Chain A
């Protein structure tokens, strides 16, 4: 929290948040009188990553890939099925209620929809003061703290007695951020914080998040489906597909030297607002749709749509179905991990 903690020093130390083999399954119940469990939706299947202080990890993927479930399991809003979430070395999944409450002072979340995540019936000051009151910190000049928080996120403290409906989408998202910052957390989970906003508004919120990180030394888990936004804000990026991380690397490395066929397709599918470059670009079109997470494909989960697999020999293609590729360093170093058997064939 002090200015002395430069990000470079922080990265060298132990991670502030470590996620190990996180699994979250939702049971599918039968419709008979006895509601037997007849299967499971494998929303998150063994996700691991570290976040250091002052660092941003971007978690990207398409709808249904498990990124939101991951963020909720980390905060124990939905208890994980198995795996560990280590916050400063302590396992969140095994905490008692009291410990969890104390943990939440250090780890907060900003939700996607600024229209649904603020209580419409209480004023903005009350919304921002709520976490302070719950944690018994309001007595210590609560009103002053709220005003300071509003100033911090670029809102006029005089407007504290207004209701959420009097603010625009971008301003509401700033209110959500102020509420999350009220307890001076160390980690902020941002679940698609800008995807509901228009572009001209979005840029202001992104800049605000970057400034807050520099000022307060926060660690971010930034969940998004928009790769351009993630490229802009994240130090490290993890790409998820059907409940698994398929590639994780430092931002520049991921976008310039991506190895996994899915990452490549994802990057090539993003339109760039530059007509000349758009005309020259070649798109990798991935066929089909994401398979159901209730019955994921064996081996590599991307194999059913993989453009690379179509070019492989029969024996190699069989390996994709038989053996699950491990998330490992495949020759790039620098912590660039890829889960694909045939990264060399992609060159």
Chain B
């Protein structure tokens, strides 16, 4: 698991991707320079809080962003540029080479078509098969993802399936054409934990069965720990740390990552341990000040942080990069060394005042009105 698989073939390369949404209030910079490479067979976890740009960057890869979005940078798949490709050419890649699994299984299947039809549709879109062959393959797929009585279930409608089952149907659709890359956008967020465990197992089966590389987008650091080989942490539209899963969890070099890990209540931790919250909330993407976007919440912040936004730079190992001027200071530190866990965090009127005072109107990241991508579970 720890092998970072640096030798594998480069499948997907995202270079300096920026996505801007023009709105009435100004430009919202949802993604500001995302950069990663995905190699064959590996699982890349992308984590971040709501509004950090993790979904938008993946929708950009699939070419599913609305026309109003301004996209810059480069996204190459097996060496071919995807940005600016015609819809027709993109349709040959979507579903066949790169498949996507969406968050909400309640809405990503079409309610008026039988599950079997939706599966067969995905198969027939890219393969020259007869209807009977497609149906046979569909039953096979349902069996792989662990749906009981697939031959009977295939003639049912989505509303006859529970949430976890629906998500497994969506996974089956995604793996229908043996894609090279599967992008899973919060695949288990809407599900209960025991169902989440079932779906994660199906996802793993799908990945092994197809040999695909996977991008797993989630806000749950626990899910990523168990599934990913490498992790990309995003904050305010920018990657702030990337590295092997062990490096990120045991030796984080960006205060935000450290803070996130410290603020998680853990099942295996003693009750008496106090959580170390990060003060404040993420900045508005509408008008980002210069400097590090995490600066207002960072206990290590110095003058330099306000002036210059740090770039992702290599830390101890070549594969582990962090965007912090002072990342060297964080070597071997625990969250409570850096963040205050004291009782004052609950009663710090000045700090909270400062947090609100700078912002009027919308305090959290603005909600971008994304038109729902036209999807039937997976594309």
Contacts and interface: CB of A to CB of B under 8 A. Distances in A.
B281 A207 contact: no
Interface stretch (A198-206, A308-316, A321-329): A198-206
A302 to B, nearest CB: 11
A90 interface: no
Interface stretch (B90-98, B219-227, B322-330): B219-227
Nearest to B246: A275
Nearest to B350: A156
A203 B271 contact: no
Interface stretch (A29-37, A97-105, A162-170): A162-170
Interface in A268-319: 268-279, 281, 283, 285-287, 289
Contacts of A46: none
A274 B228 CA distance: 12
Contacts of A281: 226
Contact of A275 (B226, B268, B356): B226
Contacts of B246: 275-276
B26 interface: no
B221 A273 contact: yes
Interface stretch (A19-27, A225-233, A330-338): A225-233
Interface size on A, as a range, is: 35 or more
B353 A63 contact: no
Contact of A200 (B226, B266, B278, B343): B278
Contacts of A204: 263, 277-279, 345-346
A256 B279 CA distance: 33
Given A167-B363, A289-B165, A155 B352 contact: yes
A207 B346 contact: yes
What is the size category of the interface that chain B forms with chain A?
A: 35 or more
Interface string B259-280: 1111111111101011111110
Contacts of B196: 269
B192 A154 contact: no
B371 interface: no
Contacts of B345: 154, 204, 207
Contacts of B347: 151-152, 154, 211
B281 A199 contact: no
B264 A203 contact: yes
Interface string A109-150: 000000000000000000000000000000000000000000
B171 to A, nearest CB: 16
A257 to B, nearest CB: 15
Contact of B219 (A171, A199, A232, A267): A199
Interface of A: 62-63, 151-159, 162, 165-171, 198-204, 206-208, 210-212, 225-229, 231-233, 251-252, 255, 265-279, 281, 283, 285-287, 289
Given A203-B265, A270-B222, A279-B1, 7 more contacts: A156-B350, A158-B353, A201-B277, A204-B278, A228-B266, A273-B222, A285-B201
16 contacts: A157-B349, A166-B361, A171-B281, A204-B263, A207-B346, A211-B343, A226-B265, A229-B265, A269-B193, A270-B193, A271-B223, A273-B221, A273-B222, A283-B201, A285-B194, A285-B197
